[in-house]
């Protein structure tokens, strides 16, 4: 995973057993990495929510499948943005969340909606040999977007389309 | 990481002060507290989120569950929150239209019943 094709990048890789109590630790580490990478306060909070929600889904899937395989989280520092990839080895046949509890909403659906709203270029795919890969990225400073593109004669909004600098194929 | 809960009465309302992080690990504790309040006859609940550092979708689900439980008794569940990072979670999920969100406990307990 390279968030800035051709540019320098550094990857921090975390691995943890699928235990819900460790999600707070993951958020803590992710927050520290993002802060050291120069991400702003709002971006850090968005990142913590997105990573935590993604990892919570993986924890749930692995727990339901009775597996203790570690979940892997890659944080890739690029010049302009931070890339995230979460991998788990829950089988594709692992049953879904089992639905919401009585009187509640489906928090899995809510979680996916949250992640989708907070990040750019959210992608999910199946891992070869079983498992799931989820990747996305966040700009280091969402407030620092160059709005000059919107000025008369500028290149327009299309120049901000994140699809124009797609992530290269993820690592297998 | 832990979740601290403190309940007090303010007039007809039970004020549940929450401190810490609400996620898939800690949310069951919040769920149990809300169920206990309703079981004890507290149908007008104010959940104070001012000391909450993190809120995820499981926590949102628990709050929605609490709201449905009090509404079964013609009650109310209101929130107190001024933290932008927490409010953002409610806005993204559209739950600002579901929960009355106030800037202080005083505003919540004095708000007219809906």
Task: Please tell me if residue B23 touches chain A, with a CB cutoff of 8 Å.
Answer: yes
Q: Is the pLDDT of residue B33 over 50?
A: yes
Q: Is the pLDDT of residue A132 over 50?
A: yes
Q: Is the pLDDT of residue B7 over 50?
A: yes
- B89 vs A49, A56, A100: nearest CB: A49
How many Cβ pairs within 8 Å bridge chains A and B? 78
Q: Which residue of A has its CA nearest to B62?
A: A104
How far is the C-alpha of B44 from the C-alpha of B36, rounded, in Å? 13
Helix (H, G, I), strand (E, B) or coil at A122: strand
pLDDT value at residue A171? 40
Question: Does any domain span residue A158?
Answer: yes
Window from A14-23, A70-79, A103-112, B74-83 with minimum mean pLDDT: A103-112
Q: Is the pLDDT of residue A142 over 80?
A: no
Task: Please tell me if residue B70 touches chain A, with a CB cutoff of 8 Å.
Answer: no
Q: Is the pLDDT of residue B8 over 50?
A: yes
CB contact under 8 A, A103 and B25: no
Window from A85-89, B2-6, B110-114 with minimum mean pLDDT: B110-114
Window from A97-101, B45-49, B88-92 with minimum mean pLDDT: A97-101
pLDDT value at residue A106? 72
Q: Is the pLDDT of residue A98 over 60?
A: no
Phi, psi of A60 (to 5 degrees): -65, -45
pLDDT value at residue A88? 96
Q: Which residue of B has its CA nearest to A25?
A: B1
pLDDT confidence tier of residue A91, bands split at 50, 70 and 90 = confident
Which of A41, A28, A33 has its CA nearest to residue A11? Answer: A33
Residue pair B102/B79 in contact by the 8 Å Cβ criterion: yes
Mean pLDDT estimate for chain A: 78
CB contact under 8 A, A114 and B69: no
Chain A interface residues (partner B, CB cutoff 8 A): 20-21, 23-25, 27, 42, 45, 48-49, 52-53, 56, 59-60, 100-108, 110-111, 113-114, 117-118
The CATH number covering residue A95 comes to 3.30.565.10
- B71 or A129: which leads in pLDDT: B71
pLDDT value at residue A78? 84
How far is the C-alpha of B62 from the C-alpha of B31, rounded, in Å? 6
What range defines the domain where residue A45 resides?
10-165
Question: Does any domain span residue A2?
Answer: no
- A145 or B54: which leads in pLDDT: B54
Q: Is the pLDDT of residue B69 over 80?
A: yes
Q: Which positions ≥6 away from A161 have C-beta within 8 Å?
A: none
- A79 or A159: which leads in pLDDT: A79
Tell me what ipTM this predicted complex has. Answer: 0.92
Across A94-108, A111-125, A130-144, which has the greatest mean pLDDT?
Answer: A111-125
Mean pLDDT estimate for chain B: 96
Query: Which H or E run includes A31?
Result: helix A23-36
Q: What percent of chain A is predicted at pLDDT more than 90?
A: 53
pLDDT value at residue A24? 97
Domains of chain B: 3-102 (3.30.750.24)
pLDDT value at residue A137? 93
Question: Does any domain span residue A63?
Answer: yes
- B104 or B114: which leads in pLDDT: B104
Q: How many domains, chain A?
A: 1
Which of B87, B94, B65, B86 has its CA nearest to residue B77? Answer: B65
In angstroms, the separation between the Cα of residue A20 and the nearest Cα of chain B is 5
């Amino acid at each position: 995973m390279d968030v800035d094709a051709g540019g320098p990048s550094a990857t921090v890789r975390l691995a943890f057993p699928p235990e819900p109590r460790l999600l707070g630790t993951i958020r803590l580490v992710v927050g520290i990495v993002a802060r050291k990478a120069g991400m702003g306060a709002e971006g850090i909070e968005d990142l913590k929510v997105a990573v935590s929600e993604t990892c919570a889904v993986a924890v749930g899937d692995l727990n339901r499948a009775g597996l203790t395989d570690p979940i892997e989280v890659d944080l890739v520092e690029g010049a302009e943005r931070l890339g995230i990839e979460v991998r788990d080895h829950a089988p594709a046949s692992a049953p879904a969340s089992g639905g919401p509890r009585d009187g509640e909403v489906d928090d899995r659906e809510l979680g996916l909606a949250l992640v989708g709203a907070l990040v750019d270029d959210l992608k999910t795919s199946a891992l070869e040999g079983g498992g799931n890969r989820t990747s996305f990225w966040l700009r280091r400073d969402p407030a620092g977007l160059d709005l000059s593109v919107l000025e008369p004669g500028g290149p327009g909004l299309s120049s901000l389309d994140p699809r124009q600098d797609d992530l290269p194929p993820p690592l297998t | 990481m832990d979740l601290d809960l403190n309940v007090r009465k303010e007039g007809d309302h039970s004020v549940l002060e929450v401190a810490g992080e609400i996620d898939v690990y800690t949310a069951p504790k919040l769920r149990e507290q809300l169920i206990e309040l309703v079981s004890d006859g507290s149908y007008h609940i104010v959940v104070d989120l001012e000391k909450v550092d993190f809120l995820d979708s499981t926590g949102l689900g628990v709050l929605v569950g609490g709201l449905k439980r009090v509404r079964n008794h013609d009650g109310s569940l209101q929130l107190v929150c001024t933290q932008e990072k927490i409010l953002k979670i409610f806005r993204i999920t559209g739950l600002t239209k579901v929960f009355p969100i106030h800037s202080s406990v005083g505003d919540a307990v004095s708000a007219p019943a809906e």
